[in-house]
Amino acid sequence: SAQQTPTNDGPGYPAVTTTPTEMPTEEFTLEETSERVITALFQRDMQALAGFVHPERGVRFSPYAFVREEHQVFMPEALVGLLDSDTVYTWGIYDGSGMPIELTFSEYYQEFVYSSDFANAEQVAVNEVIGEGNTINNIGTFYPESSFVEYYFSGFDEQYEGMDWESLRLVFVQEDSTWYLVGIVHAEWTI
């Protein structure tokens, strides 16, 4: 094969000293990425959220800790404008009653995404389940080679003695040193 000759072969081209910054472009860590995602969720900023969603896999919304194949998946471009949409989706089934969860994106968001102020969570942990209920957490098997960040509240009303705990788990996969959001899993005490 023919030898590739560089088009700019002057001495010392490109001059290292002329680079604007010597710093390598920093990739966000998992924690930094997760923090930006939780902020976007807090601000209801779907445009910002879409920027973190995996371009081919999209993001799956799971109403409870056990992730299922049939849970709704949205691609990044589909997220923008969803909060204003009147379309009703089936998100799974309500734990306990077994009735289908049929809500608009905005209604689902209020009940199963940003149902508490997770941006100011009581505890945050990486790859560690804090909220323990009787629903199996299958993130590891459903999303192989993923990492998740859990935002957790231990409970809100003393009379429930912690049975009103709530968590939001953001599931990420890393590709080319970029963390992509693939799952938003809501977890709470279930009967």
109-141 residue pLDDT tens:
999 999 999 999 999 999 999 988 778 889 999
Q: Is the pLDDT of residue 9 over 70?
A: no
Contact yes or no for 165/19 (Cβ under 8 A): no
* Strand (E) or helix (H) holding 147: strand 146-153
Predicted TM-score (pTM) of this structure: 0.84
The two tokens of residue 7 are 């088009």
**E-state strands within 21-119:** 59-62, 73-74, 88-93, 100-104
Per-residue confidence at 191, pLDDT binned at 50, 70, 90?
low
Cα(85)–Cα(82) distance, integer angstroms: 5
Q: Which of 110, 102, 124 is nearest to 170 (CA)?
A: 124
- Higher pLDDT among residues 119 and 5, named by residue: 119
What is the signed CA dihedral for 12, 18, 20, 25, rounded to 10 degrees? Answer: 10
Cα(107)–Cα(84) distance, integer angstroms: 10
Cα(174)–Cα(29) distance, integer angstroms: 10
Contact yes or no for 127/147 (Cβ under 8 A): yes
* Strand (E) or helix (H) holding 50: helix 46-50
* Percent over 90 (pLDDT), the chain: 72
Pairing of strands 123-126, 146-153: antiparallel
25-81 residue pLDDT tens:
458 999 999 999 999 999 999 999 999 999 999 999 999 999 999 999 999 999 999
